[in-house]
Structure 1
Amino acid sequence: MQITNTILMIRPENFRMNEQTAVNNYFQEDIDLKNKEINSRAQAEFDAFVLVLREKGVNVIVMKDTKELDTPDAVFPNNWISFHEDGTVGLYPLFAENRRRERREDVLDVVEEKGFVIRNIIDYTSAEDEGYFLEATGSVILDRENRKAYCALSQRADEDLLIEFCEDFEYTPVIFTAYQSVSGQRKPIYHTNVMMCLAETFAVICLDAIDDKREKKNVVSHLKQDGKELIVISEAQMHQFAGNMLQVLGMGNRRFLVMSTAAYKSLRPDQIAALEKHCGIVHSSLETIETCGGGSARCMMAEVFLPKE
């Protein structure tokens, strides 16, 4: 299964611009509002987004962030945990020290209470002590059916850790580097999932971000080999989070591609038509979360593929 109908989401309590992630997340911007106001706007966006998903029949497990911990990015759980079909859970090393507090055992308890089975936990978090990171499905885009792991290397995606992950989970690595222009310089994009989305029958990708011709050719050839239609977005569209999308299952096994309203508005009519050949489109406004957090719809959803009891 490439897609699931169950999503884990964490409702923010301390959301603001995280100064520790801003050092290499060039999508983040400061806004001239008090943190309390930023957090309350983020909560409103979160609640509206959950409602939109549930209306489509997506099973959303919502947990609250903990007030006591200073975790401004808790709304992005897909960076520290992944859930797999064989009952394995992956726990991942995070670049920003204040993000490491987001990892919570009670999340696993709640998932089990919902009837999902956890058989095994593979924990990569000790790599933080050595300064190596791999931020789960932010850094690694999984083609679960064809067992391929697409990864744009960056400070948050270490090649050796990726190889270790691929050996543990039996994936073939597809490795490249993706860049964005920042003040006239080409700098690595912090997460693969802002420039690429992989669905059952198509992939949305910003090919302009892959500067190396051989790497670009290799990525395209893997996607085409597996029968994916390529819907190519520009770097400007990527900056509106048009790569940060996730395909999910809704009511009656209907397929939906989930994105933010900013991402949707950045798409051309021909791109929307190409996507709608494959599935419906769902979007919700995530303006505050995108601006301060530098992440969007896909980052907010940790997919649950665990077996049911």
Structure 2
Amino acid sequence: MTLLQAPDAVVMIRPHHFCSNPETRDDNAFQTLSNHSAAATSEAARSEFDAAVAKLRKAGVRVHVFEDTSTETPDSVFPNNWFSTHTGGHVAIYPMFAPNRRKERRQDVIEMLKRDYRVQDVIDYSGLEQDGLALEGTGAMVLDHIGRIAYTVHSNRADPILLERFCTHFNFEPIAFEARDAQGRDVYHTNVLMGIGTGYALICLDMIVDPERRRTVAQRLEDSGRQVIDLSHAQIGEFAGNAIELTGDRRILALSSRALASLRPEQIAIIEKTAQPLPLDIPTIETAGGSVRCMLAGVHLTRRTERTH
């Protein structure tokens, strides 16, 4: 059975022309430029990707891998932004802010979900790009699947009208807030500053601008029975908030090696009460401004019974 907060399957997109996306660099402070050639950078990203897939599969997670050979989709390795899946058989497809990210959407992923899992409906919001609206999936929203809350940072990647519409369709309560980094720059994606597990939540409360909203978010996380792991600005800079809990042979927290190295022993001890940290080594992929959470689109759907072919 797929667990609510920690799915046992993910979709991952293997990159062939990976690079730091020039169309998203203006508002993604986490992006950096590689010192290597385009070919070398792309090859390194593929090697990191393949090693991550192998490690996840060894831990018992079902990984659906799709190849991306397009030269026009540098961020395709981050599929969590263009679709999400939900218990009860629901799938959402999202409108993207950057024009070249809109090309990441692919029908073969949706068809695989329909074939291998029980899908009742697909709600496609992507046409709203024509109105200049964006809601970039589980990058823009960090979802508490148990408490039915969509934590969302105000940004050009999370339109408030679209957020309300998603929450109505998918039965979530929106909790939106402003967030800024230590340099005063707006946070572009919510999953940079927080990640929610079953028994704990990783979050940099200091990044939430309004003190009252900060208290509300902390209280709601605690009320859900989770232990709050308050991350520092420096830990967020190491992608410690960009993690996802999964179910394999046991419950795991997938995060980057860099992120795990930034956590203090007492923070790791809280995670280890209910999940085993699983570090993935992806330094090249992180130059694009995203980390492990962005690479993994969780499958919160019921698997169809095995069929013989």
Equivalent in the alignment of 1:156 = 157
Name 2:170's counterpart in structure 1: 169
Distance 2:212 2:257 in 1: 34
Q: Distance in 1 between matches of 2:294 and 2:204?
A: 17
- Shift of residue 69 of structure 1? 4.7
Aligned match of 1:257: 253
Structure 2 residue 191 is matched with structure 1 residue 189: no
- Quote the Cα distance in structure 2 between the aligned partners of 1:122 and 1:110: 16
Q: What residue identity is the alignment partner of 1:32?
A: N
From 221, 232, 235, the counterpart of 2:233: 235
User: If the length of structure 1 is used for normalisation, what is the TM-score?
Assistant: 0.95
Tell me if structure 2 keeps the 8 A contact 1:242–1:263: yes
Alpha-carbon RMSD? 1.0
Q: Could you tell me which amino acid in structure 2 is paired with residue 84 of structure 1?
A: H
Q: Which among 209, 212, 218 is matched to residue 210 of structure 2?
A: 212
Match of 1:9, SS state, is strand
SS of the equivalent of 1:270 reads helix
CA deviations 1:36-61 (Å, max 9, x no partner) are 11110000000011111111100111
Unaligned runs of 5+ in 1: none
Residues 198-237 of structure 1: per-residue CA shift (max 9 Å, x gap): 0111100011111210110110111111111000110110
Tell me the CA shift for residue 137 of structure 1.
0.4
Counterpart of 1:179?
180
Q: Secondary structure at the match of 1:3?
A: coil
Letter of the 1:274 counterpart? I
* 1:112-171 C-alpha deviation (Å, 9 max, x unpaired): 34x212221111112211111110000111111111111111111111111111011111
Structure 1 residue 79 and structure 2 residue 81: aligned? yes
Q: Which runs of 4+ in 1 moved over 6 A?
A: none
The 1-side partners of 2:18 and 2:70 are apart by: 13
Q: What pairs with 1:1-309 in structure 2 (closer than 5 Å)?
A: 1-65=4-68, 67-113=69-115, 115-182=116-183, 186-251=184-249, 254-291=250-287, 293-309=288-304
TM score, norm. by length of structure 2: 0.95
Deviation at 1:79, TM superposition (A): 0.2
Amino acid in structure 2 at the alignment position of 1:136:
G
Which residue identity does 1:95 align to in structure 2?
A: F
Task: Work out the percentage of aligned pairs sharing the same amino acid.
Answer: 42
- In the TM superposition, residue 242 of structure 1 has moved relative to its aligned partner by 0.2
Deviates more, 1:84-93 or 1:240-249: 84-93
Equivalent-residue separation in structure 2 for 1:168 and 1:12 (angstroms): 32
How many pairs does the alignment contain? 301
